[in-house]
A and B are shown apart, each in its own frame.
Chain A
């Protein structure tokens, strides 16, 4: 049996949820609402995160273009995705929402431009 604590980030109350595991099944204690329970469950079973970063852009008013994943990706793949993004270079102009990397690292999620950038 193992136990871990998850500080809930669903609301400011920040409940400390205990997840107790026995034979692959989890029991949760200390949450105050259904959303908190759901959050704790996904944190132990399959934690997901948004991916945000910036990639170099040529001939724009600033040197970096902010990018974001269109949906959450598995936390375990975050590092690989960032490594992939480090290699990306784009050229201006870019429209907000334009796909920068399609299906990043086989997650099925596209990484898009978070803003528009005109050519300088």
Chain B
């Protein structure tokens, strides 16, 4: 088996991995390698042909491909080693990567640091326990997106969409423009899962109805799907008898949520957060395994790619600093601090989760962005950060809602000697 040493290996060539690789080179890291299983870089951006990417980072409306291209172009001016069509099969706690491709066969990379950038997966039919037959024509919104935008197939003529996640909304518009009749979007929750602008731009503009508190309770058809049964649900999301309605369709599109992809992370013994489904990370986006970092949707599902790129850069800076510490041997433990000097960020009142979950105690060199989601909708709110009962920092927000990720700035000067609790409060 071919064995090689690399300073930083990045698993995944999507937006997180691309930003991480470029930043690692900026930081002066010598041997940087991206391992990507697809034939091209860019990850899921390559099937996102719609616009709305890059507003924060580039200040303009770009499509997914254009956003990816900006990074791929920059990467081409570096000596980052890109291994395409290469599948990582295993990573170990001592930072070895086992991968396979058709040119080299099985390879082993001994890494100074690893950045996990595998992205996320869509929740599938098996994960939402949908009763009924198993005909063809039931697929995730991402699969429909790939078929239409990259492979050039129309996967049906009349579609029902279950779930109001953003990809489902985007695909409602895209299918309509491609001539597929979209009967409606059905959402089991009492509020939409996707961003309001997508509800307006993708459903409202095309008169596609959104049915809240309604779900698919049966799938009809043997070989190919012929229809679905939808039912209203009660406050506990149980179908209400007598509300069933049959809809004929030849395509059921599932847009029922995304889960960080962490099969490889688990193999390396990385601690996962039950709320984000991603690794617990510190302010450098290092996981519980020393020298193994994580970036982008592996950590938590972000709604803007701009944030994904930001975390890629943060992880690369962290990994570069980790390598410098490991080199200098000044600190025997390259973690850069002992466990006692680490504090946790705690999701308090009406906060769903916070990334990063761990911070260095004391003061920090610079301000830190905390990524979080709230549990309820509200206007004129603030995120208050509390340490030992005292308020250390606060961020005002004109509007908050669960589908919109917030970024709260923690002042570097805030001196933390205990866990940091974040609460959502009315701004008075």
Contact = CB atoms under 8 A, between A and B. Distances in A.
Interface string B337-351: 000000000000000
Contacts of B149: 54, 64, 66
A52 B51 contact: yes
B196 interface: yes
B195 interface: yes
A50 B61 contact: yes
A37 interface: no
- Residue of A12, A50, A61 ringed by the most chain B CB atoms within 10 A: A12
Contacts of A56: 152
Interface of A: 7, 9, 11-14, 32, 50, 52-54, 56, 61-64, 66-68, 82, 96, 114-116
B395 interface: no
Interface stretch (B134-142, B182-190, B397-405): B397-405
A28 to B, nearest CB: 17
A45 B400 CA distance: 30
A9 B197 contact: yes
Nearest to A50: B51
A93 to B, nearest CB: 13
A68 B61 CA distance: 10
Contacts of B152: 54, 56, 63-64
B379 A13 contact: yes
Given A9-B197, A54-B149, A62-B151, A68 B51 contact: yes
B42 interface: yes
- Residue of A54, A61, A114 ringed by the most chain B CB atoms within 10 A: A114
B146 to A, nearest CB: 9
B334 interface: no
Given A12-B196, A66-B49, A115 B66 contact: yes
Chain A binding surface, main DSSP class? loop
Given A53-B177, A61-B39, A114 B66 contact: yes
A12 B149 CA distance: 27
Closest 8 CB pairs of A and B: A115-B65, A66-B49, A13-B399, A114-B65, A9-B197, A14-B196, A63-B152, A50-B51
A7 B66 CA distance: 28
A14 B192 CA distance: 13
Contacts of B49: 52-54, 66-68, 114
B46 interface: yes
B50 interface: yes
Given A7-B204, A50-B51, A68-B66, 5 more contacts: A12-B196, A14-B200, A52-B51, A54-B152, A114-B64
Contacts of B62: 68
B426 interface: no
A11 B404 CA distance: 10
Nearest to B46: A115
Nearest to B204: A7
13 contacts: A7-B204, A11-B398, A52-B49, A52-B51, A54-B152, A62-B151, A63-B151, A63-B152, A64-B151, A66-B49, A68-B62, A68-B63, A82-B177
Contact of A7 (B40, B61, B200, B399): B200
A9 to B, nearest CB: 4
B68 A115 contact: yes
